Amino acid sequence: MGFCLFNNVAIAARAAQAEGIERVLIFDWDVHHGNGTQHSFETDPNVFYVSAHQFPFYPGTGSFGEVGIGRGEGTTLNIPLPAGAGDTEYVGAVQRLVLPAARAFKPELILISAGFDAHRDDPLAEMNVSAEGYLAMAGAMRTAADELCGGRLAFILEGGYALSGLREGIEATLAATLAPIPPVAEAVGAPEGTTLRQVVDQVVAAHGSSIPDLGSS
C-alpha cells in the first residue's frame, strides 16, 4: 500500500525458503509500518516480522496488539513509536526488543527492511534518527546475525526522502557491515517514565512471557 511495486523483502524471504532456509527474521526499521510484509507472514510461524515505526502514521497499522494470527501468533512484533523518537528509542528498542526476539526465534537468515525515512532530515516523517543511530542498529543486527545464523544478513533499501538522510544512513549501515568488528552501541538508558520505557512495557505486555528476556537490556 506504500510506494513499491514489489515487496522486495517478502520476496527475498520466500526465495530463501525455496532454497532451503526455514526460519527468517525480518526487522523493518523503515519509518512506516510494513503492512504488506506483516500481512504476508502474519499466519506463518517461520517468518518473524518485527517493525519499529512512527505511530500513529501512514498506513495506520502496526499497533502493539498486532502479534500475528493463528499459527503465526507471536511471530509478529510491533514497536510503534511516537513522533519525535530518535536514537535513544530506536537503538533501545533494538537492544531490549529486537535482539531478545531474534535470540528466541533462532533465525537462519536475517533481512532488514532498511528504509532511512526515520532520519532526522527526512521531510515525510517526524523522527530524529542520526547516522550514529543507524550505525548502532546495523551493528547490533550484524552481531545478531554473526551469533545466530553464521552472519547471514541482508539489508534491502526501502524508503528515504532526504538525500542527506539516505547518504548518511546507507554509509553508516555499510560501515557497520564492513567493519572488522561490529560497532557496539553505547548503553542507552531508559529511566522509568521515558518514551522508550513505556513502549517496551507495552510490547512486553502484548507478548506476555512467550519471548524470554523481552524488555531486558
CB of 209 to Zn ion, least distance (A): 32
Burial bucket for residue 12 (CB in 10 Å: 0-12, 13-18, 19+): middle
Closest to Zn ion by CB, 168 or 190: 168
Nearer to Zn ion, 92 or 159 (CB): 159
Least distance to Zn ion, CB of residue 161, Å: 8
DSSP 111: E
CB closer to Zn ion out of 159 and 169 = 159
Alpha carbon 22 to its chain centroid, in Å, reads 20
Q: 182: cis peptide before it, omega within 30°?
A: no
Q: Are 101 and 48 in contact (CB under 8 A)?
A: yes
- Beta-bridge partners for 47: 24
Residue 165 engages Zn ion in binding (rule: CB under 5 A)? no
Count interface residues toward Zn ion (CB under 5 A).
6
Tell me: does residue 159 bind Zn ion (CB under 5 A).
yes
Binder among 13, 29, 30, 162 for Zn ion (CB under 5 A): 30
- The three grid cell numbers given for residue 54, joined into one nine-digit string: 512512527
Q: Is 103 exposed, middle or buried (0-12, 13-18, 19+ CB in 10 A)?
A: middle
Give the nearer residue to Zn ion in terms of CB position, either 62 or 72: 62
Q: Looking at beta carbons only, is 48 or 116 nearer to Zn ion?
A: 116
Q: Is 115 in the site for Zn ion (CB under 5 A)?
A: yes
Cis, peptide link before residue 180, omega less than 30° from 0 = no
Closer residue to Zn ion in complex, CB, 129/214: 129
Q: Which helix (H) or strand (E) holds 53?
A: strand 47-54
Least separation in angstroms between CB 158 and Zn ion: 6
| Chosen residue from 42, 87, 117, 121 binding Zn ion by CB under 5 A | 117
Contact range with Zn ion by CB under 5 A, out of 107-115, 164-172, 187-195, 208-216: 107-115
Task: Output the residue with the shortest Cβ distance to Zn ion.
Answer: 159
Which residue among 24, 27, 32, 188 contacts Zn ion (CB under 5 A)?
Answer: 32
User: In terms of Cα–Cα distance, which of 171, 212, 203 is closest to 66?
Assistant: 203
Strand partners, 111: 26, 154
Q: Minimum Å distance from CB 27 to Zn ion?
A: 14
Q: Which of 61, 57, 58 is nearest to 40 (CA)?
A: 61
Residues that bind Zn ion (CB under 5 A): 30-32, 115, 117, 159
